Every structure is written in structure tokens, then in C-alpha cells.
Structure 1
């Protein structure tokens, strides 16, 4: 009787494998099925599949995909990211191992699956300027300032980043962060206080890989103190991802690099020499008067209390003096009684 020997390794069918999916492919999606055969019989011919890590290859995808051990079905295990892949390497490589069931000596083989990744619209626009707080190469909560004393009607506003690490005027720039980016358009999302949207115009200009916001004040108006524009950068796509930046209108003080928020009407009054401190002087005078009255009242109260205490003290002294019997009188009485007894 001839006994079968485990002398044949498993062999993949139709290898190598390659497929293409979008980076937004949901977790659990089936990609393809790998198959292998083993010419040995019985346990030696039973085969199982597995995925192993291979850090020696570019863009190893061992952690991102799963495989059914018996059927060889490959599925998405984790979220994919087109942007994290290097230029010219927009794919993952999965190393699949097939092993037979030999009880003593096991034989195996492996093959690689190349999974090409296409870009999906999973990132929105991002503002960019030096000094902004960044996370994953994007500005978080971007903020700009405008000097209200430098505003000219119908002229482009000049911006400074916040924090202002350069000290120079900068442009407001944004771009879509997808690998294949969409165009970006700017607009006024809202103002604070509200109702001032129509007093400003916003144009979008392409500058290299970025888009620039050109903002102008087109109507004369006395802006309220602490005025803010929320500027929206929106990508031109069905998803319409967008990002919002805050533009604060401030007065930049050149001395000591101090800056404070101020309304344009206050700035104009200071330039034309109008009196702007009357209410402040009145308030200071009122506070001084009240303080003086309080001091006088406290002083009078203390004097009154001291006077009452002194009067009580004097009265008690007089009463004590009138009730006390002189010592000489008591001594005289004893002497008289003793003299009478001798008689």
C-alpha cells in the first residue's frame, strides 16, 4: 500500500492579484477572493489563508485588511487614506500566506495583492498662514486681524495673522486638502453683530495651488465695537465641505506693540479732535465724590462713638466719687468710741 506524502506545497491560482478601490470604501467591503490548491490528499491537502505584516515592502497594508481563513475572501478592516500614501505610491500591498494541513511537516506559499487607492472627497478646505495652530498640516481655528485705521473704502483690506509672528501683512489663503483638490470660493458667512454682510465684498483669486480671499468694505458705515467677520472657504463639490476663519477689526498700536479693539467711530473722533472723554470724566468725578462722602461718614461715626464713650466714662466716675465714704471719717468714729469707754 502506497501512503501519500506531504511533498507538494499549495499553489495560488491566478496570482498575482490586483484591484482598485476608493479610499472611502466602507469597512467590511469585500475586495476579491484568492484561491490556492494543494495536490496532496487528506490533511496534507487542507489549506488555510492568513495575512502577515511585511514591513520590508512599500505601503504594507497588513493591518488594514482581513481574509477569511477558509474561503480566502479579502475585506476592508480599517479606514483607508489616500493622502497618507506617498506620491507615486497610491496603493497598499497585502501579503497573503496559504498553508497546508500537514500534521508533521507543513508547506506554505505566499503572494502579494496590490490594492490601488483612488482619492475620495474626505477633506475640506484649510486656511494656511505662518504661526497658526496646526493639526495634521491644517490650521485650527484660523484668525486674522484688520487695522480699522487703515481701511479705505472699496480698497482691499490688509490682514495680519493671529498670532502675528511675522509683523507683516499677509494674504488670506486656503486650499482643499484632498489629494485631487477641488476649487475653493470665499464668502461672508456672517458678521458679529449681524446685519453687516452687505457692507463687504469678497472675491476669490487663484494663486498657485491656493485660493486667495480679497475682501473690501464697499459701504461707509460706523462699525460697532468688537466687530468680527466670519469668512467661509467652501470647496466646489457636491459635498460642499467648508472651513471658517475669524476676522477681527482692531486698532493696532505701534508703540510697545500693543493692540486693542476699537470701533471706527471712536478712531475717527480721535483723529478729528472731538471730545471723547466727557462721560469718562463725569464717571471719575462721581466715583471720587462718593468715596469722599463715605470717608466723612465713617469719620463722623467714629467721633460720635468716642464722644458717647467719654460721656459714659465721666458719668460713672462722678457716681463712684459720690458713693464712696472717706477713710478719715471711719477712723474718727472708732477713736471717739474708744475714748468714751475709757471714761
Structure 2
């Protein structure tokens, strides 16, 4: 009896025994708040050692705040995170996103994305003062008022300098302003008979913008007679 032999071809089928793996567990991004809508901030990458559907990776947000979901978009195919709306450093300066990479089965991996929004000089200083009344006998060097301005930016972008803007020549020597503190002082004697009203323009300037504001200074003479209301009777 002659022995016989046969060649058997065995095909090993892939099973989904490998989970996707991100190239890094954490991604850190710094972006200025004026980054254009549609810009790609970061591209996440995960690989899967399986084949076919078991090795196809899709991306989705795993944990994200409501506001971040309005600001950022994640492409499920490419892993690109893009900007959907204008960012605002003054509103929220950092966002923490958790992204999930999953294959054709139920296996997955997660990665953290930290997006830090950096400040730009997009807010001008705002001055609130409008008018002030002074007596004409106030001594030279007396403080009239201290102008203050608020700037919503941070750091050097929020550092404010003060000055008069195009002050009339006739008032140039009457008042002085400290550029650092915003303090306005009298620099020469006031005279109600010459000027009973001063209109000045105050300017607060930051690193890249400025804000001008009218300032009315009303001079009050201590020699003005007190006028009684009409019909008032006086008994001596």
C-alpha cells in the first residue's frame, strides 16, 4: 500500500485582539486667541495592529465641556482638531479635552488634549470719569481727581499710561497729569473770572490701543453770591 500526502493551506483569520494606541498620551497646544476659525490646532494619531475593520481607527470626543464642544471640532477620520468659533482668552484661557480612539470592535484608547489660549491686545482701556467740580481757591499742587482705566487684557497688554490728548494751549499750564497713576493736579492758580469751565480730553493708552474720553472740570468760585429763591422773605 503506497502512502499518500496532501498539502493543507490554513488561513489564520484576524480577531480583534489589539486595541488602538495613541502615539502619545497627552497633547499640549498653545494658540493665540485671534487664531482664525477653521485652523487645525493638532492632529491626533492612533494605530491598531489588527487588520481590516478591526484595525480601522475612528476618533471621537470622550469627555468635553459644553463650551469646548462649541469651540472645537474633531474629525473622526483624520484626528484633526480645528477651531469652530472665535476663541476669547478673557472668557476661558484653557480647555481640557479627552479624545477616544476606537476600532471596528469595542477596543479603544484615550488621550488628553490641553489647549491653552494666549492673550492678545484686543481690549482697549475704558475710562469711566466724566466731570469734577473744583474751587478756585484750591492751592497749586492740589489733586483734582485720579483717573482710572480698566483693561480686560493681561500682563503688558493691560499696562495703562495716562495723558491729556490735544489739550488747549490756554489750559496747558493749568493742570498736570501723572502718566503712571492718572492723578490730575492743579499746576497754576485758578481764576473763575477767566475760566469757569474746562473741557479736556483724557487718554489712557495700553501696549497697542488707546481710549480717549472727555473730562469736564467746572471751576466753583467761593466768591459767588448766594441767591435766595424768588419770593423769599427776610426779617431783620
| Alignment TM-score > 0.5, same fold | yes
2:103 corresponds to: 100
Q: Which has the higher helix share?
A: 1
CA contact (8 A) 1:201 1:218 kept: yes
* Separation (CA, whole Å) in 1 of partners of 2:212 and 2:185: 15
Aligned residue for 1:152, secondary structure, equals: coil
Is the 1:53–1:60 contact (alpha carbons within 8 Å) kept by the matching residues of 2? Answer: no
Query: Are positions 1:178 and 2:153 aligned together?
Result: yes
* Whole-Å separation in 1 of the counterparts to 2:115 and 2:165: 41
Contact 1:52 1:95 in 2 (8 A): yes
* Structure 2 residue 184 is the aligned partner of structure 1 residue 198: no
Structure 1 200/71 Cα, relative in aligned 2: closer, same or farther at 3 Å? farther
Task: Identify the structure with bigger relative contact order (alpha carbons < 8 Å, sequence gap 6+).
Answer: 2
Query: Among 206, 216, 219, which residue is 2:186 paired with?
Result: 216
Q: 2:134, 2:144 within 8 Å by CA — same for their partners in 1?
A: no
* CA displacement, residues 178-222 of structure 1 (integer Å, 9 cap, x when unaligned): 22134322222357xx6655254432254xxxx333243547562
* 2:83 aligned residue: 76
In 1, Cα distance between equivalents of 2:137 and 2:45: 71
Which residue pairs with 1:143 in the alignment? Answer: 129
Secondary structure, counterpart of 2:29 in structure 1: strand
Write the mapping of 1:1-343 to structure 2, written as runs, cut at 5 A: 1-55=11-65, 61-85=68-92, 91-102=94-105, 106-127=106-127, 142-150=128-136, 152=138, 154-159=140-145, 171-182=146-157, 183-189=159-165, 196=170, 198-204=172-178, 206=180, 211-216=181-186, 218=188, 222-223=194-195, 227-235=198-206, 237=207, 239=208, 241-250=209-218, 267=221, 270=224
Report the alpha carbon displacement of residue 269 of structure 1 after superposing the two structures with TM: 6.6
Q: Distance in 2 between matches of 1:74 and 1:32?
A: 6
Larger Rg: 1
> Residues 176 and 187 of structure 2 are in contact (CA less than 8 Å); yes or no, is this contact kept in structure 1?
no
Task: Please report the RMSD computed on the Cα atoms of aligned residues, expressed in angstroms.
Answer: 3.3
- 1:122 to partner: Cα distance: 1.9
Q: Count residues in correspondence.
A: 214
Unaligned runs of 5+ in 1: 128-141, 160-170, 251-262, 277-343
By percentage of residues, which structure has more strand?
2
CA positional deviation for 1:47:
1.6
Shift of 1:97: 1.7
Q: What is the rounded CA distance, in whole Å, between the counterparts of 1:219 and 1:28 in structure 2? A: 61
Runs of 4+ in 1 over 6 A off after TM superposition: none
Name the TM-score, length of structure 1 as normaliser.
Answer: 0.52
**Mind listing any 5+ residue stretches in structure 2 that lack a counterpart?**
1-10, 228-236
Work out whether residues 151 and 157 of structure 1, in 8 Å CA contact, stay in contact via their aligned partners in 2. Answer: no
